[in-house]
Amino acid sequence: MDVRTGASLVATTGFIADQLIKATLTGTTTITGVMFRRVANTGVSFGLFQGYNAFFIPVVAAVLVGVWSLRDELGVWPTALILSGGVSNFVDRVVYGHVVDYVDIGFWPVFNVADAMIVVGIAALIVGELRVDGEERNEN
């Protein structure tokens, strides 16, 4: 399996898992100390800017198009993870009028699998850039 196929498989699986959890979660469930409860987030990360879902729909769409257009520069894994999580949360904004968050670990704002994929994708992008910059400095 090549890298693109693997990244696409992970991204698709993450998208489907996130959407299935959101569609089926109705109450509060605790599994091994992690609480799963449905929370409506009309803002962005960490619950900031609540109440602006209509504003964020075109903004998120533009960001997703931008990430897609930069996919060759960003790399396979960061692009796959960021787009998968971003599209999943975008679907929520359009279908539900808010992003559905559901993982509550107590000391952190409630989040979802899509959020985790976006964060891991951005972290991979940053690490990749730091490695490239470090290699370029070492060559000089």
d(CA 51, CA 123): 28
d(CA 95, CA 111): 18
**Are 41 and 47 a contacting pair, CB within 8 Å?**
yes
Q: Residue 5, SS3?
A: helix
> Among all residues, which ones are annotated catalytic?
101, 115
Unique residue bearing structure tokens 């972290």:
123
**Are 83 and 67 a contacting pair, CB within 8 Å?**
yes
Angle at 14 between CA 43 and CA 116, to 5 degrees: 45
d(CA 24, CA 98): 16
